[in-house]
Amino acid sequence: MHWSPKGERGSDQSNFQLFLLKGEIFSLYFGTTLVVVISSYDLLKETLVKQADIFTDKPKDGMFPVLQRVNGIVEASGALWKENRTTVLASLKAFGMGKNVMAEKVEEEIHAYMEEIEKLDGKPTDVKEITGRAVSNIICNFLLGRRFDYEDTYFTKFLNIFDKTVAAASQGNLHAWFPFVRHLPGDLFKAKEIINNQSFFDEFMRDFRTKIEDDESSGINKDNIIAYYLKEMRDKCDKGQQTHLSDEGLTRVISDFMVAGSETSTSTLLWFFLYMMHYPDVQNKIHDEIDEQIGVGRTPKITDRPKLTFLNAVIMETQRIASIVPLGLFHRCTEETVVRGYTIPKDTFIMPHLDSVLHSEKIWGDPHNYRPERFIDATGNLKNPEELVPFSMVIAALAVVVVVVVVVVVVVVVVVVVVVVVEVVVAAAAVVLVVAAAAAAGGRRICLGEALAKAELFLFTTYILQKYQVVPEDPNSLPSFDSVLGITRMPKPYKLRLLKRDAVTE
Ligand code: HEM
């Protein structure tokens, strides 16, 4: 469900509509599977964060039991999940995740994206396809260490298959809950299509891998996740170390990245453009801020981010109100436990109802109003409330761990500074911090792409609004806030026009 700013309800074409019910905790059955829906910030914290050891794993058969394999990150559990995740995180760190190197890869893609936008020449367009293509290409750049030209036939074919997989996966996945439907004649529930797409996908993965290995043997292009993963796997095998890293794991990591990293950022950008059309005052204010802080003489940089307080607040408000992963991703409860007096049996599926936090009246007061100012404090600084959970709950937990460690470290430093050399303590403190953060991240499911997604959202929106005004196709009729719920909550297709700002001013 989506609430428009004027309080009108939009509609999701979703199978989940029924479940957007009231109550902090309730259970229901999907087929024969018991699912417990957990709502409210406090309750999600009580479960996903405070009882993380019990609530971190994923359903044993994964989201698509028809594929009969669970590996990679999103669907994996236990030691297998941890090693895949740690390896990928280490590779991202090695290539500058969270630093400017990451932003440079994003910027490289945005330059190509802006050329495509320029070609539109202000004509009414549904920008979903070109935006999605640019966002997927960024993920390819991380996976392979290179981007593709938009005309590249290999890339186009890959994206087509990927789109089909996402579309089939978005259609309710009924065969996961009612296994008998897989045996019905025809393919009404898309089980066969998912299996076929997956084997195409696997073929592409093998191709990707061969290309990387060729590059590797010729000594080029080592800054990519695939090369890093393969090297780790080989090194561990050579040393006779036990490892969960495998070819299958790598294939799943690649598809996890494509699925988790493409639709999410694309959907958020489409919501952003939609809100810009509905709120021209907000858009004008961003234009003014960009003009003042960056001007028109140079392209935006990630280092401009702290200067654009209002734009940051608009992105946060868009993520909050759009709530693109409203029902989170399933977790699994690995031990019987009691929550608020209700017994949750072992292996129950847990649905984290993130929407209940992002749209909570208790937290936001007026959750259905689009009001970016809620993220700016009285002194004009950006606020970062822990209840803003589009990437799930874990950030708050991580922050808490880090804050606790920082406090302990500061106290230790103050005490020890009198007798010992300060640098030694600070160095030790840094190690403790890294270890603590790693432990927290390793034990919980923080969105692995949060830093990348935030860089993308900032750079795409700044580049576009520096040059263009986003206006509706028809000035007398704004596109609706209705949404379609698939893997993410996407706005229903709409067309916009991107008008050059200098032309508008003239
Ligand atoms: C606006 C963009 C994004 C949003 C709102 C978002 C949101 C989420 C959410 C809600 C989860 C579920 C966490 C949980 O299980 O509790 C998640 C997991 C994940 N996301 Fe994102 N995400 C975004 C972008 C990305 C990007 C760009 C990537 C890839 C580079 C990515 C990779 C992942 C992965 C791999 C996981 C699984 C983590 C695990 O299970 O250990 N996400 N994301």
What phi and psi values does residue 389 have, to the nearest 5 degrees? -120, 45
380 and 434 in contact (C-beta within 8 Å)?
A: no
34: left (phi over 0), alpha (psi -120 to 50) or beta: beta
Non-local CB neighbours of 391 within 8 Å, separated by 6+ positions: 446, 447, 450, 453
Interface confidence: ipTM more than 0.95: yes
Torsion angle, alpha carbons of 334, 338, 344, 345, to 10: 60
Helix (H, G, I), strand (E, B) or coil at 125: strand
Which runs of consecutive H residues, i.e. helices, occur in 371-421? Answer: 394-416
Alpha-carbon distances, residue 41 vs 51, 355, 383 (angstroms): 14, 10, 18
Ligand 1 contact via 39 beta carbon (within 6 Å): no
Q: How far is the CA of 505 from the centre of ligand 1 (A)?
A: 40
Among 67, 85, 64, 72, which residue's Cα sits nearest to residue 250?
Answer: 72
28 and 17 in contact (C-beta within 8 Å)?
A: no
Non-local CB neighbours of 428 within 8 Å, separated by 6+ positions: none
Strands 33-38 and 349-352: parallel
Among 38, 250, 263, 264, say which to mutate for ligand 1: greatest number of ligand atoms within 8 Å of CB. Answer: 264
Look at residue 236 in the predicted model and tell me its pLDDT: 96
Ligand 1 contact via 455 beta carbon (within 6 Å): no
Both tokens of 330, joined, read 């399933």
Torsion angle, alpha carbons of 132, 205, 88, 489, to 10: 30
Atom of ligand 1 nearest to the CA of 76: 40
Mean pLDDT of 20-47: 87
Alpha-carbon distances, residue 292 vs 296, 363, 436, 466 (angstroms): 9, 33, 40, 11
Sign of CA dihedral 388, 391, 392, 394: negative
Rounded Cα distance between 188 and 171, Å, is 10
- Does pLDDT of 439 surpass 50? no
Among 397, 374, 262, 263, which residue's Cα sits nearest to residue 318?
Answer: 374
Ligand-binding site membership of 237 (annotated): no
- Nearest 5°: the CA angle 84, 86, 89 is 110
How confident is the model over 475-504, as pLDDT tens digits?
A: 999 999 999 988 789 999 999 999 999 755
Ligand 1 contact via 256 beta carbon (within 6 Å): yes
Residue 183 — very low, low, confident or very high, per pLDDT cuts 50/70/90? confident
How confident is the model over 51-100, as pLDDT tens digits?
A: 999 999 999 887 777 676 789 999 999 999 999 999 999 998 887 766 67
Ligand 1 contact via 448 beta carbon (within 6 Å): yes
226 and 144 in contact (C-beta within 8 Å)?
A: yes
Among 260, 229, 263, 247, which residue's Cα sits nearest to residue 446?
Answer: 260
Look at residue 1 in the predicted model and tell me its pLDDT: 34
